A and B are shown apart, each in its own frame.
Chain A
Amino acid sequence: QPQLLESGPGLVKPSETLSLTCTLSGGSISSGSYYWGCIRQPPGKGLEWIGSISYSGSTSYNPSLKSRVTISVDTSKNQFSLEVSSVTAADTAVYYCVRIRVATTSSYYFYMDVWGKGTTVTVSS
């Protein structure tokens, strides 16, 4: 069973860069049937897509965050990483790594079928 594990500091100072690494076990990040992504959930609120990346490095970002977000992939480590620059208190959230299924043998879909457990990131001085 594939699993995603988030790792990174739980506390980040305002104006600094939030860095998160997502490590995949039980599968290969190089599979062409999947993209890899990051979702966040502020305390008591709903889910927000941050961005996603293919194994080849093609990225898509939420326009609301695009100027501050970078997602990269390291296939040799079976990992992908998120950076959010110039953070403020509004970036405080639980951050999830997800696997996005993009294709089956018969059709294209785009849904998140594997989720990490999430990691809480607090922005505070």
Chain B
Amino acid sequence: EIVLTQSPGTLSLSPGERATLSCRASQSVSSSYLAWYQQKPGQAPRLLIYGASSRATGIPNRFSGSGSGTDFTLTISRLEPEDFAVYYCQQYGSSPLFTFGPGTKVDIK
């Protein structure tokens, strides 16, 4: 089983700052099979990034994804008020077929 670890658990930042979120896998993950989601309180998760670096439809270009192998990063270049949320990475490929990281909460400093 591939375990995803996200760090930090909580990131306290101010609007306008840059956010860098890490997702580390216990085994190599194909870049095609790594995605990122945003979840706000009381809402369903929303797809941000797929294939490690491709933005989903309608996602602002301040969101970017990078990485390969076991280390992946989600970067928010300049935080907007609506970006304060929990972010999850997800991988496909090893039993269980889909696993999620525990999440990183980005909150307002």
Contacts and interface: CB of A to CB of B under 8 A. Distances in A.
A107 B100 contact: no
A96 B101 CA distance: 17
A46 B50 CA distance: 19
Interface of A: 37, 46-49, 52, 60, 62-64, 96, 101, 107-113, 115-118
A40 to B, nearest CB: 11
Given A112-B35, A113-B47, A46 B99 contact: no
Nearest to A60: B97
Contact of B98 (A108, A110, A113, A115): A110
A96 to B, nearest CB: 6
Interface stretch (B66-74, B76-84, B88-96): B88-96
5 nearest A-B residue pairs (beta carbon): A110-B92, A49-B98, A111-B35, A115-B44, A111-B50
A64 B100 CA distance: 14
Contacts of A96: 44-45
Interface string B39-50: 000011111001
B32 A112 contact: no
Contacts of B90: 47, 111-112
Nearest to B98: A49
Contact of A46 (B35, B96, B100): B100
Nearest to B99: A49
Contacts of A60: 97
Given A62-B96, A62-B97, A112-B37, 5 more contacts: A48-B100, A49-B96, A63-B96, A109-B35, A111-B50
A60 B96 CA distance: 9
